[in-house]
Amino acid sequence: MNWIRISWMLYRVNVRARMQYRLSFLLTTLLASLVTVAEFLGLVVLLHAFGAIKGWNVWEIGYLYGVLMTAKYVYRSFGSAINNFEPYLVNGLLDQLLLRPMPLLLSVVTSRTRMVGGELLQSLTVLGVCLGRLMRDGTAGWTAVPATLLIVCTGTVIMFAVGLATAAVGFWTTRTEDLSVLTDNASTTACQLPLSLFPDWLRTLLLTVIPFGFINYVPAMFIVKGEWGIWTIPATVAAAALALAAALALWQVGVRKYQSTGT
């Protein structure tokens, strides 16, 4: 419990430090919000031009987008250091954290934060509007609300697990930036759309090796499409738990293999 209190205190200190430069904070938040809006509007324009894509209309795809991006920004709010772990290995920052009398992973997570208020507000707005429309149309029932909250949580866990595994690979390769492009940016972009649009090999990749398909597509097949059965919800929870356990195991092995930069 003490570690939780200490971690929360360090997180608050980092947030307050980020907000000291108020103009920079406000401009960064505003620009990030505009990027998120522009990204989704581009998707809306595409769907308006072509209509439904393989049975998925704009509200259903908006739901996929909202769940995915909400989970992403919740993860980024506390996992910024994990998502950009390369400097810790290259510049010797990890050596400093190893001297702290607390678990290394907590030290890394609390050493850096990212303010995602604007992006998170936009993604929640998209998710709320699309889910509300699906409920009004009768596509989804009231149970979609708690189910959506659950899969946002499991989605955050999956993103953290993939980010942690990517960071752990850096203990062997040192450089992780290019790998992060594949496991984070490219995978997130792909999962904004239904996986049924992609070839079999890519669907398999996004359901097994990089299980981002379990963030939104798999549970959405039941929540908003009424297909595949309720088993998709416990399967999503299980996928998140397995991904986290595997990532933590890989992290522990990597920490034992780590060699200091000597700086």
What's the pLDDT tens digit per position in 165-206? Answer: 999 999 998 888 888 888 888 788 888 888 988 899 989 999
Closest CA to 128 of 79, 75, 63: 63
Percent of the chain whose predicted confidence (pLDDT) is above 90: 33
Q: Sign of torsion, CA 10 70 185 228? A: positive
Is the per-residue pLDDT at 1 higher than 60?
A: no
150 pLDDT more than 70: yes
Please enumerate in sequence order all residues whose Cβ is within 8 A of that of 98, keeping only pairs 6 or more positions apart, or say none. Answer: 104, 107
pLDDT digits (tens, 9 = 90+) for 60-84: 988 999 999 999 989 988 888 898 8
Separation CA 91–CA 65 (nearest Å):
36
**Separation between Cα atoms, residue 120 and residue 136, nearest integer Å:** 24
* Residue whose token pair is 């942690």: 164
pLDDT at 256 > cutoff 60:
yes
DSSP letter for 197, please: G
In the predicted structure, residue 218 carries a pLDDT above the cut 90: yes
pLDDT of residue 51: 66
pLDDT of residue 119: 78
At position 150, the amino acid (one-letter code) is: L
Residue spans of alpha helices (H) in 84-224: 86-90, 93-98, 104-109, 117-136, 144-173, 177-180, 187-190, 200-207, 217-223
Token readout for 131 is 């889910």
**Predicted structure pTM score:** 0.85
- Distance (Å, rounded) from C-alpha 151 to C-alpha 219? 7
Instruction: Note the pLDDT of residue 34.
Output: 63
| pLDDT tens-digit readout, 104-116 | 888 888 887 776 6
pLDDT in the model for residue 169: 93
Q: Which residue has the higher pLDDT, 69 or 259?
A: 69
- Residue 44 CA to its chain's centroid (Å): 22
**What distance in Å separates the CA atoms of residue 245 and residue 71, rounded to the nearest whole number?**
19
Residue 259 corresponds to which tokens in the numbers above? Answer: 């060699």
Integer distance in angstroms from the first to the last C-alpha of the chain? 33
CB 195 within 8 A of CB 55: no
Provide CB contacts within 8 A for 100, sequence distance 6+. Answer: 107
To the nearest whole percent, how much of the chain has pLDDT over 70? 78
Give residue 233's pLDDT: 95
Nearest of 1, 124, 3, 7 to residue 68 by alpha carbon: 124
- CA–CA distance, 109 with 100 (Å, rounded to integer): 13
